[in-house]
């Protein structure tokens, strides 16, 4: 028999190749084949369905975030080419690429920041690259280096460690990239812009609310992460209000401790120790955020004290809002994140374009006076919760008033 294919064999081979090709690129599948193929379900939302605008091999779809860079999307990235389309409509030849380096999604609010920042940046015609470090300093620096090497035009950073992330600023500036410190200040670095809320005022609002209810007595302060500059500013604001009363002898702070990495489990340990060391004789608690306040409420509930001792938090998390309605948490501080995200996105794009940014404040970060835009926080309690977080659409009313859902989450036996 002669070597080679017969005519019939050639026809069968061509038909088989056609079937394979049709299956590989069937309408609506959106799968990119080859070494960088994206498996179905590997990316959240509708990213897989609309990935045809990207080149094969550009994605691995292994986590959270957004990649519009056209290169390898490592680690915590997913793709959504809405950003490509928006940028193309405004500047097809040279779209602005904004890198967003985030610390964590541990607290509910940070997912809101991510979504609102992305939406605002896309509306401005920019592309967005988001990476999340999961509270790991080395990982955050490495991710920032990745975005710098990929050529982002501006880098927006939510630092995990205020000191360690100074290295990100140095590396970005060496590449000619400006850095915006988002919500939390990066310490001891030449940060180009700081966009946040007045975090000292956050602490002052907490302390004013609690001292109105308890002008005299034994106080506990459950702080946030010692490595987070915001935690220090919250505490400064609290003690701006408490110190005159401490000096008068009206208030005694019987327990004051940081909660490592903002972890609720660490706050729970702290609050249990505060109660134990004081024989449960405590009159008020101020916690650095709503997640730590939830741990405070759990520890109080274990001793039958939930709802009997005023507790302050901040961030206006859903669980915190639910506890306010139920009466186990006294107040929170609402920071309208939509305003923060939109302001930061707008100013980051301006910096990337070399435009002038109006910053009416300056905040010292240990090295320089950083141009700053500080928004005003809002104290929220049972009386105004409908007119603030609910009226703004931050939380749905039916979720806030959902019975029994915000009491506490058990963290350990």
The pLDDT tens digits for 28-63 are 333 322 333 333 333 333 332 222 222 222 322 333
How many CA atoms lie within 13 Å of 305's alpha carbon, on the beta-carbon side?
A: 20
Q: What is the pLDDT of residues 63-104, one digit of tens each?
A: 344 444 333 333 333 333 333 334 434 455 688 999 999 999
DSSP 51: G
Task: Say how far apart CA 249 and CA 265 lie, in whole Å.
Answer: 32
- pLDDT exceeds 90 at position 200: yes
Q: Give the model's pLDDT for residue 188.
A: 95
Q: Give the model's pLDDT for residue 128.
A: 96
| Closest to 294 in 3D by CA, of 406, 218, 382 | 406
The CATH code for residues 199-335+378-400 is 3.40.50.2300
Element at 321 (helix H, strand E): helix 318-326
- pLDDT exceeds 80 at position 22: no
Task: Say how far apart CA 398 and CA 378 lie, in whole Å.
Answer: 22
For residues 215-225, average pLDDT: 98
| Closest to 153 in 3D by CA, of 104, 110, 116, 192 | 192
For residues 102-110, average pLDDT: 87
Q: Give the model's pLDDT for residue 52.
A: 26
Q: Give the model's pLDDT for residue 9.
A: 56
Q: Give the model's pLDDT for residue 142.
A: 96
What residues have CB less than 8 Å from 74, skipping those under 6 apart? 60, 62, 146
- pLDDT exceeds 70 at position 263: yes
| Closest to 107 in 3D by CA, of 128, 126, 134, 88 | 134
Q: Give the model's pLDDT for residue 92.
A: 55
Q: Give the model's pLDDT for residue 107.
A: 81
> Percent of the chain scored above 90 by pLDDT?
70
Chain centroid offset of residue 383 CA: 28
Q: Give the model's pLDDT for residue 145.
A: 97
Q: Give the model's pLDDT for residue 91.
A: 54
Q: Give the model's pLDDT for residue 16.
A: 53
Q: Give the model's pLDDT for residue 402.
A: 85
Show the tokens assigned to 64.
């959270």
User: CA-based angle 108:112:115, to the nearest 5?
Assistant: 140
Q: What is the pLDDT of residues 233-247, one digit of tens each?
A: 999 999 999 999 999
Of 43-47, 168-172, 188-192, 303-307, the least confident = 43-47
> Percent of the chain scored above 70 by pLDDT?
75
Show the tokens assigned to 127.
């592309």
Q: What is the pLDDT of residues 249-258, one digit of tens each?
A: 999 999 999 9
Q: How confident is the model at residue 398 (pLDDT cuts 50, 70, 90)?
A: very high
Q: What is the pLDDT of residues 323-371, one digit of tens each?
A: 999 999 999 999 999 999 999 999 999 999 999 998 989 999 999 999 9
Q: What is the pLDDT of residues 275-314, one digit of tens each?
A: 999 999 999 999 999 999 999 999 999 999 999 999 999 9
What's the pTM?
Answer: 0.70
Q: Give the model's pLDDT for residue 360.
A: 87
Other CB atoms closer than 10 Å to residue 101's CB: what's the count? 28
HEC secondary structure over 241-264: HHHHHHHHCCEEEEEEECCHHHCH
């Amino acid at each position: 028999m002669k070597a080679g294919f017969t005519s019939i064999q050639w026809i069968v081979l061509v038909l088989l190749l056609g079937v394979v090709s049709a299956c590989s690129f069937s309408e609506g599948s959106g799968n990119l084949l080859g070494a960088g193929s994206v498996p179905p379900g590997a990316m959240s939302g509708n990213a897989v369905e609309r990935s045809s605008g990207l080149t094969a091999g550009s994605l691995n779809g292994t986590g959270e975030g957004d990649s519009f860079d056209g290169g390898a999307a490592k680690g915590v990235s997913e793709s959504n080419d809405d950003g490509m389309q928006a940028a193309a409509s405004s500047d097809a030849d040279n779209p602005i690429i904004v890198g967003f380096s985030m610390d964590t999604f541990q607290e509910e609010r940070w997912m809101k920041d991510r979504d609102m920042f992305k939406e605002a940046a896309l509306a401005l015609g920019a592309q967005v690259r988001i990476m999340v470090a999961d509270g790991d300093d080395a990982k955050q620096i490495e991710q920032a280096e990745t975005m710098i090497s990929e050529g982002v035009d501006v880098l927006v950073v939510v630092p995990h460690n205020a000191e360690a992330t100074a290295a990100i600023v140095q590396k970005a500036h060496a590449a000619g990239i400006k850095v915006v410190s988002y919500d939390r200040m990066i310490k001891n670095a030449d940060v180009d812009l700081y966009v946040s809320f007045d975090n000292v005022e956050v602490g002052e609002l907490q302390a004013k609310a609690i001292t109105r209810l308890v002008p005299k007595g034994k106080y506990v302060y459950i702080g946030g992460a010692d490595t987070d500059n915001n935690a220090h500013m919250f505490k400064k604001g609290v003690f701006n209000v408490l110190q005159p009363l401490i000096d008068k002898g009206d208030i005694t702070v019987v327990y004051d401790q940081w909660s490592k990495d903002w972890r609720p489990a660490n706050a729970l340990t702290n609050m249990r120790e505060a109660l134990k060391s004081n024989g449960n004789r405590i009159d008020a608690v101020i916690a650095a955020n709503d997640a730590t306040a939830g741990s405070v409420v759990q520890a109080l509930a274990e001793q039958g004290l939930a709802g009997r001792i005023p507790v302050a938090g901040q961030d206006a998390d859903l669980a915190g809002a639910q506890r306010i309605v139920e009466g186990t948490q006294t107040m929170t501080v609402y920071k309208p994140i939509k305003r923060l995200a939109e302001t930061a996105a707008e100013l980051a794009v301006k910096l990337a374009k070399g435009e002038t940014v109006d910053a009416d404040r300056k905040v010292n970060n240990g090295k320089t006076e950083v141009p700053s835009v500080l928004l005003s926080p809002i104290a929220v309690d049972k009386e105004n919760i409908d007119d603030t977080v609910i009226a703004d659409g931050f939380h749905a009313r039916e979720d806030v008033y959902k019975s029994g859902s915000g009491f506490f989450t058990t963290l350990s036996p």
